[in-house]
Amino acid sequence: MLADAAHDTAAAVRTDWSRDEIAALFDLPFTELVFCAAAVHRAHHRAGEVQLCTLLSIKTGGCPEDCGYCSQSVKADSGVAATRLMDVQAVLQSAAQARDAGSKRFCMGAAWRNPKDRDMPAIIAMVQGVREMGMETCMTLGMLTTAQAAQLAEAGLDYYNHNIDTSPERYGEIITTRSFADRLDTLETVRAAGINVCSGGIVGMGETRSDRVGFIHALATLDHHPESVPVNALVPIKGTVLGDMLAETPLAKIDDIEFVRTVAVARITMPLSMVRLSAGREAMSDATQALCFLAGANSIFTGDKLLTAANAGDDKDAALFARLGLKPMDGEEPLRAAKAGARICE
């Protein structure tokens, strides 16, 4: 059976996946693909547990980048006003509220191409303050210098998020103000500083399945898999290039089954990573989210908002967890604790 072949191919944690192998996973019958992804997931992650994370925009709007999906770009006519970097105490208050609501990781995002050195003391204070609350910390600030990455590492930053967004071939159609290589350089800078990597992308941007293969391939063939892999479904926002494009061409939007396939292939090719079901959940049915969890997604963002986009909200998530019999994760993440050469699909 094709699923048996996928099982054998995924017998060890690998960074040498070929595009043909990843394409073959995408082509598996849907139920067999999900079955194999679920087996991989259960080999390394506790079934029925999902990590709760919260994402706060600590500096909104005014970003000079031209990312076609982003309402915070100065190129977008989305009505998002630019703000200054939040006060440290206000950020820590939001973190405390997230912790009390059950979040284990607090992620902070700033709409910058790169942080200025003058902003680093406040950023460092935020990291240190959130860590003192017993939460994992994550930052997404754009590109980093080696010195800035070292400062964040010294402050104890657990994760740095820098998404590759899409395949190398599709990238230039989505963003022109920095290259795909720039993205990879930042990931290398973060990794070299000793910070865990959070990197994923967005599907449903009018890409082909070949692009989704390329997106997974780029992550799964890094020297070290990202500890966290967010898989976002595009939230089309009026006034952005892609939001306006999808309004005119709604068939370009990814369907639910293809989205679940993408989650499953991410799980199989990066078995120890946390696969985060990220933006777009607000528009997903409970059934679609349940399939994503079955296919290996084991982390979500909670709260009513993800940066500037709507999110499901704590009450709705609690009801979903109760309905599905899920519970919040309260343990070590496998890739951070794993030994080299760990096996999957045992």
Q: How much is the pLDDT for 1?
A: 45
> What is the rounded CA–CA span in Å between residue 243 and residue 56?
22
Determine whether 292 is an active site residue: no
| Domains (range + CATH), the chain | 19-323 (3.20.20.70)
pLDDT in tens, 82-100: 789 999 999 999 999 999 8
> What is the rounded CA–CA span in Å between residue 2 and residue 32?
8
Q: How confident is residue 4, by pLDDT bands cut at 50, 70 and 90?
A: low
Bridge partner residues of 240 (DSSP) = none
Exactly one of 36, 53, 105, 138 is catalytic; name it: 138
Q: How much is the pLDDT for 238?
A: 85
> What is the rounded CA–CA span in Å between residue 291 and residue 320?
13
Find the helix or strand (DSSP H, E) in which 290 lies: helix 286-294
Q: How much is the pLDDT for 200?
A: 97
Q: Which amino acid is at 11?
A: A
Instruction: Say which residue the tokens 């799964």 belong to.
Output: 220
> What is the rounded CA–CA span in Å between residue 41 and residue 298?
9
Q: Record the tokens describing residue 333, joined without a space.
A: 């993440």
Instruction: Say which residue the tokens 């192998």 belong to.
Output: 21
Determine whether 107 is an active site residue: yes
* pTM of the shown model: 0.89
HEC assignment per residue over 93-104: HHHHHHHHCCCC
Exactly one of 36, 53, 67, 292 is catalytic; name it: 67
Q: Which of the residue ranges 54-58, 228-232, 248-252, 264-268 would you say has the lowest mean pLDDT?
A: 248-252
Determine whether 53 is an active site residue: no
Q: How much is the pLDDT for 10?
A: 44
> What is the rounded CA–CA span in Å between residue 274 and residue 338?
13
DSSP state, 239? T
**Residues contacting 183, CB < 8 A, separation 6+:** 162, 163, 164, 165
Residues 14-22: what's their mean pLDDT?
Answer: 97
Exactly one of 53, 107, 292, 345 is catalytic; name it: 107
> What is the rounded CA–CA span in Å between residue 48 and residue 50?
7
Nearest to 136 by CA among 228, 4, 223: 228
Residues 122-140: what's their mean pLDDT?
Answer: 95
Whether the pLDDT of residue 332 is over 80: the answer is: no
